[in-house]
Amino acid sequence: MSEPLIIVGNGMAATRLVDELTSRAPGRYAITVVGEEPSTAYNRVLLSSLLAREIEDGDLELKPQSWWDERRVSIVSGRQATAIEPKRKVIRLRGGTQLSYAKLVLATGSEPIRLPLPGADLPGVQTFRTRTDVSVMLQRATGKLRAAVIGGGLLGLEAAYGLKKAGAEVTVVHLMDRLMERQLDAPAAAMLKSALEALGINVLLNAESVAVQGRRKVGGLRLADGRVVDCDLVIMAAGIRPRAGLARLADLTVNRGIVVDDQMQTSAADVYAIGECAEHQGICYGLVEPAYEQAAVLADHLAGEEASYAGSLLATNLKVSGVGVFSAGDFMGADGTEPIVLSDPEHGVYRKLVVADGRVAGAVLLGDTGDALWYLDLIRSRASIAAMREGLVFGRAFCAEPDPACEPRQAEAA
């Protein structure tokens, strides 16, 4: 008989787990996925493209209903799990239903941080995480809309780009002295800022938001230096927090995220966590690739195979507001490393490779990111670059005949 396995959260990590597990151990588990959002899992990464009107809502679907049916997965949509009882091995759903499990997987993702500013509860202040958030933004984004986006990280810039494309006047308000400081060094960030400004997006750096102004709705965003950004919409994109409330209530070990070991097991027997809600060796990842790597390890483990998660290499490879951005590894360069830099601001191209002990330890690419996966593979494989160092910064085409001993493995899709 199939063992009951419940996954809480019907997001990207959950879908990947079902995919991996049903191919490794078909029929071994009777899987139920409980999700609070009204639809089955969708591709959250594509929300930025949906906001920019580059795709339709239907393009977000990860798997059609027939895919879930073929795997005999029961989907409970629009229902929130409200409690776990690890001793009785049951979970409770809002409305009172109880479900028993043999194995439980928490894949509850993250929530956007809502800054506790005065006025933050006014209509017109919102976050950017779900399909519903995007549909609200699209309804409001007309030529007359003035939007302030708090946060110059990936999500903030994606929101700014989408709103701008929809015709709004957009200002990004960022606390730090450069955009995307977790992924970019100063020259790359400066080039990205110029690219955004060329699109007509205003960017304010070193700018601290202190209050949302307005009586019944948003009228402006006040900054610490006294300036006010006139706006009718404020998007808070100032970071995310793992959704660990359920685990905390059930007395599982939680730091920032739900603490897991190398098999993605939490502190409770037969309860696992993967994706953005999980914390492994002190790290909560906010990207989809680590979630997929964790799902693969857990699928192996649940299928009875040996598997161990050793952490993921932090890499970002995407388009931000239409500009290619890649960064991975030690892109800032620790003491004792050497940078190799190619910079062409007029054409919006920047490449920095950080070399340590004759190997690539990190990289930042802005503009042309065609060789990103090749560089990522060099970082991952720790291949010697002795034979290709001269042409390295120009890309793979300039390193066509490296010493075979130095040839990196074929790049994987990131």
Of residues 24, 16, 15, the one with CA closest to residue 307: 24
Q: How do 359-367 and 323-329 pair as beta strands? A: antiparallel
Out of 291, 297, 364, 366, point to the residue binding ligand FAD (CB under 6 A): 291
Q: Does 233 bind ligand FAD (CB under 6 A)?
A: no
Q: Does 341 bind ligand FAD (CB under 6 A)?
A: no
Q: Does 325 bind ligand FAD (CB under 6 A)?
A: no
Out of 158, 232, 279, 371, point to the residue binding ligand FAD (CB under 6 A): 158
Find out whether 60 and 43 touch, Cβ atoms under 8 Å: yes
Q: Does 353 bind ligand FAD (CB under 6 A)?
A: no
Considering the complex, state which of residue 50 and residue 207 has its C-beta at the smaller distance from ligand FAD.
50
| Residue recorded with tokens 């993702």 | 109
In DSSP notation, 172-198 reads EE-SSSSTTTTT--HHHHHHHHHHHHH
Out of 6, 7, 11, 321, point to the residue binding ligand FAD (CB under 6 A): 11
Out of 49, 108, 266, 369, point to the residue binding ligand FAD (CB under 6 A): 108
Q: Does 402 bind ligand FAD (CB under 6 A)?
A: no
Q: Does 12 bind ligand FAD (CB under 6 A)?
A: yes
Find out whether 122 and 214 touch, Cβ atoms under 8 Å: yes
**Which residues 257-276 are close enough to bind ligand FAD by CB under 6 A?**
275-276
**Which residues 22-51 are close enough to bind ligand FAD by CB under 6 A?**
34-37, 44-45, 47-48
Question: Sign of the C-alpha dihedral, residues 85, 88, 90, 96?
Answer: negative
Out of 80, 202, 263, 265, point to the residue binding ligand FAD (CB under 6 A): 80
Out of 5, 6, 7, 13, point to the residue binding ligand FAD (CB under 6 A): 13
- Alpha-carbon gap, residue 15 to 13, rounded angstroms: 6
DSSP 166: T
Question: Tokens standing for 253?
Answer: 């070990």
CB of 278 to ligand FAD, least distance (A): 8
Q: Does 129 bind ligand FAD (CB under 6 A)?
A: yes
Give the residue at shortest CB distance from ligand FAD: 11
Compute how many residues bind ligand FAD; rule: CB under 6 A: 34
The phi and psi torsions of 398 (rounded to 5 degrees) equal: -95, 5
Of residues 295, 283, 292, the one with CA closest to residue 45: 292
Find out whether 214 and 222 touch, Cβ atoms under 8 Å: no
Of residues 2, 215, 19, the one with CA closest to residue 118: 215
- Alpha-carbon gap, residue 322 to 331, rounded angstroms: 22
Reduce the DSSP state of residue 195 to 3 states and report it.
helix
Q: Does 377 bind ligand FAD (CB under 6 A)?
A: no
| Residue recorded with tokens 């914390």 | 279
Considering the complex, state which of residue 155 and residue 388 has its C-beta at the smaller distance from ligand FAD.
155
CB of 218 to ligand FAD, least distance (A): 21
CB of 381 to ligand FAD, least distance (A): 21
Considering the complex, state which of residue 48 and residue 209 has its C-beta at the smaller distance from ligand FAD.
48
Range 190-202 burial, b when 16+ CB lie within 10 A, else e: bbbbebbeeeebb
Out of 10, 40, 209, 369, point to the residue binding ligand FAD (CB under 6 A): 10
| Interface residue list for ligand FAD (CB under 6 A) | 8-14, 34-37, 44-45, 47-48, 80-81, 107-109, 128-129, 155, 158, 243, 246, 275-276, 286-289, 291, 318
